Amino acid sequence: MVKVIRSIGHGLCAAGATLLVIYFLAVRLKGLDALYESINPLAPRTYLVLSAMMPGALCLWLANHLSSRRRRATAVDDTQSNDWHARRPSLARRLWATGKSN
C-alpha cells in the first residue's frame, strides 16, 4: 500500500515539475520582464504556480507517515505495555539484554 502511494506521489511530482517547466518556458517566450515577474518572491502568483507540486508532495508525505507508523507499531514487543521504557529501551538496556557489557 505504501509503495503504491509513494509511486503515485513520485508520478504526481514529476507531472508537477513538468507543468512548472512548461509555465516558465511560456513566460520566457513573453519576454524577460514577464520572467522576472514570474519569479518575484513578493508576487502571490509565484506561490500559486508551485501548487502544481502539492498533490505529489502530499502523497509522498502520506506514504512516509504511513511507513513510519507501521515500523513503530512492529517495533513494540508483544507485551503491549504502556510503559515507554518497554516500548523504547535505551541503548544501555538493549546492550544489557543481549549480554554485552559497555
Q: Which bin fits 52, alpha (ψ -120 to 50), beta or left (φ > 0)?
A: alpha
The DSSP H or E segment spanning 87 is: helix 84-87
Tell whether the model's pLDDT for residue 99 goes beyond 50. Answer: yes
What is the per-residue pLDDT across 20-53, written as a single tens digit (0 to 9) for each? 999 889 888 988 888 888 888 888 888 888 888 8
Name the 3-class secondary structure at 79: coil
Tell whether the model's pLDDT for residue 77 goes beyond 50. Answer: no
The secondary structure of 2-63 as a DSSP string is HHHHHHHHHHHHHHHHHHHHHHHHHHHHH-HHHHHHHT-TT-HHHHHHGGGGHHHHHHHHHH
Q: Where do the domains of the chain lie?
A: 2-76+86-98
pTM of the model: 0.58
